[in-house]
């Protein structure tokens, strides 16, 4: 029997689909739902990074036309509706969907919808009522959306069999600090970390895994970066690394993030048995227990220029330095700390256990016949209609995008 030919209902996930945090969220959703449903992926946004990849390019994946807008979450109606019809999809889960027209298209087709809650503004919170259900993987998100009839808090977790620890070596004479910033070093506080460690005298080695060139991202910190590299304090790994990543090289995970929707790398690090130092702000501090983690105080809050609901929380660099120094002086306890981190992951953050709640939330939505949404609450604007026209002319769209992206402020 081929994929999709069983008696199970078919559901879809609209998502980013390549080596990126949001895609790993969608992949974990799929893994949790696979036993009960046939799950299909709609990879939106022209993200062709993973086409041909053994890891990502599967028979259940449909890649949106590469000429589509990729700056945001625009979707080509023709190919999207074909995907729904060809796969006889009953419900669609949207991962970080900012543009709401596709939800209305699902309504027109009689397809139910669920949002994985991550991005929202104060103005857009009420519009989430257009979804039949919401999935919140942090307490912070759930605190905003618990008014929704079918908003579910599902404790996040990871594959603890994939993300597992190595033994802490007592033979080496230094502690390895590890930091992963992916494609977002500013948001994840990589610059704050570099500024915090440059004057630390204790013996340590910092490994930073990035998917971008930090020397280009932080030109004002080039001198500090080169100084740390020259003195064997810093190693930069600039490449794409598949799961389980590079956590095994570290003893302590340093994550002074300014802002996170989820912060999945924290759970991965904890599962790998790393002690953790992170920002004392949700959702980062939601995953930290004092038995294996330290929280860094926030010096100030800064509103993001795109109007995101939550402000950025800026770590106090002095406190970050003190917390790192304290951890480096406490090497005798490090083996115990790493053991406690792994124990906590097994007890709280095992996705095989936590994913059951996700399946239950999806089941409740897909089996409910109540119409929860009044179309009057969301009417397409002229801007929406203009975008619909654009994204349905595939041959013109790339040219239009290239022209308009040069106009200052067009995307803000």
Percent of the chain residues topping a pLDDT of 70: 84
CA distance 397 to 298: 43
146-204: pLDDT as tens digits: 999 999 999 999 999 999 998 655 567 789 999 999 999 999 999 999 999 999 999 99
Instruction: Give the pLDDT mean for 252-267.
Output: 96
In this predicted structure, the answer to whether residue 375 has a pLDDT above a threshold of 60 is: no
In this predicted structure, the answer to whether residue 70 has a pLDDT above a threshold of 50 is: no
Q: DSSP 3-state assignment of 255?
A: strand
Strand boundaries in 64-194, DSSP class E: 89-95, 112-116, 133-136, 151-153, 175-182
H-assigned helices in 184-271: 190-197, 214-217, 222-230, 264-271
In this predicted structure, the answer to whether residue 206 has a pLDDT above a threshold of 60 is: yes
CA distance 141 to 326: 32
CA distance 134 to 128: 8
Query: Tokens 């300014």 identify what position?
Result: 258
Pick the CATH number of 175-349 from 3.40.50.2300, 3.30.450.40, 2.40.37.10, 3.40.50.2000: 3.40.50.2000
Give yes or no for a contact between 121 and 308, defined as CB atoms under 8 angstroms apart. Answer: yes
Pick the CATH number of 10-157+353-404 from 3.90.550.10, 3.40.50.2000, 3.40.50.460, 3.50.50.60: 3.40.50.2000
Per-residue tokens: 330 = 């406490």
pLDDT band at 404 (very low <50, low <70, confident <90, very high): low
93-105: pLDDT as tens digits: 999 898 888 998 9
Task: Write out the H or E segment, with its range, that includes residue 99.
Answer: none
Per-residue tokens: 394 = 């595939």
Lowest mean pLDDT: which of 7-11, 50-54, 244-248, 330-334? 50-54
Candidates 150, 89, 70, 87; CA nearest to 117 is: 150
Domain boundaries, the chain: 10-157+353-404, 175-349
> What is the crossing angle of helices 382-391 and 394-404, to 10°?
120
Q: Please, what is the end-to-end C-alpha distance for the chain in angstroms?
A: 48
pLDDT of residue 74: 82
pLDDT of residue 393: 47
Q: DSSP 3-state assignment of 280?
A: coil
- More confidently predicted of 87 and 4: 87
In this predicted structure, the answer to whether residue 114 has a pLDDT above a threshold of 90 is: yes
Candidates 79, 107, 75; CA nearest to 91 is: 107
Examine domains 10-157+353-404 and 175-349 and report if their fold is the same: yes
Residue 200 to residues 197, 205, 327, 395: CA-CA distances in angstroms? 5, 11, 12, 55
DSSP-derived secondary structure for 6-69? SSSPEEEEEE--SSSHHHHHHHHHHHHHTTTSEEEEEE-TT-GGGTT-TTT--TTEEEPPTTS-
CA distance 260 to 309: 12
Count CA atoms within 13 Å of residue 218 on its CB side.
Answer: 20
pLDDT of residue 317: 98
pLDDT of residue 412: 44
Per-residue tokens: 351 = 């996705």
pLDDT of residue 18: 86
Instruction: Give the pLDDT mean for 226-254.
Output: 94
């Amino acid at each position: 029997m081929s994929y999709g030919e069983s008696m199970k209902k078919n559901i879809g996930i609209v998502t980013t689909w390549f080596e990126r945090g949001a895609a790993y969220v969608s992949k974990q959703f799929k893994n949790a739902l696979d036993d009960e449903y046939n799950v299909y992926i709609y990879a939106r946004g022209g993200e062709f990074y993973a086409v041909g990849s053994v890891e990502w390019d599967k028979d259940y994946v449909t890649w949106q036309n590469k000429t589509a807008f990729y700056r945001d979450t625009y979707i080509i109606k023709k190919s999207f509706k074909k995907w729904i019809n060809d796969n006889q999809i009953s419900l669609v889960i949207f991962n970080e969907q900012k543009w709401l027209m596709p939800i209305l298209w699902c309504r027109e087709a009689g397809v139910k919808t669920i949002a994985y809650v991550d991005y929202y503004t104060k103005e857009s919170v009420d519009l989430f009522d257009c979804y039949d259900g919401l999935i919140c993987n942090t307490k912070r998100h759930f605190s905003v959306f618990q008014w929704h009839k079918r908003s579910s808090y599902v404790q996040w977790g990871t594959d603890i069999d994939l993300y597992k620890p190595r033994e802490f070596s007592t033979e080496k004479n230094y502690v390895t600090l590890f930091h992963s910033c992916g494609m977002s070093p500013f948001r994840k506080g990589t610059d704050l970390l570099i500024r915090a460690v440059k004057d630390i005298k204790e013996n340590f080695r910092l490994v930073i895994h990035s998917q971008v060139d930090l020397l280009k991202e932080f030109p004002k910190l080039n001198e500090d970066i080169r100084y740390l590299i020259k003195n064997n304090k810093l190693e930069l790994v600039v490449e794409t690394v598949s799961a389980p990543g590079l956590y095994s090289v570290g003893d302590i995970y340093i994550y002074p993030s300014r802002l996170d929707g989820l912060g999945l790398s924290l759970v991965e690090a904890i599962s790998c048995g790393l002690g953790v130092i992170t920002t004392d702000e949700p959702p980062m501090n939601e995953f930290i227990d004092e038995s294996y983690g330290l929280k860094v105080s926030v010096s100030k809050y800064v509103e993001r220029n795109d109007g995101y609901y939550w402000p950025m929380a800026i770590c106090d660099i002095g406190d970050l330095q003190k917390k790192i120094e304290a951890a480096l002086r406490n090497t005798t306890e490090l083996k115990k700390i790493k053991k406690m981190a792994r124990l906590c992951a097994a007890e709280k953050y095992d996705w095989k256990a936590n994913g059951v709640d996700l399946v239950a939330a999806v089941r409740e939505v897909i089996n409910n016949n109540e119409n929860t949404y009044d179309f009057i609450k969301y009417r397409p604007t002229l801007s929406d209609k203009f975008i619909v026209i654009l994204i349905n002319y595939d041959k013109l769209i790339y040219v239009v995008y290239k022209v308009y992206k040069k106009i200052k402020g067009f995307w803000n």
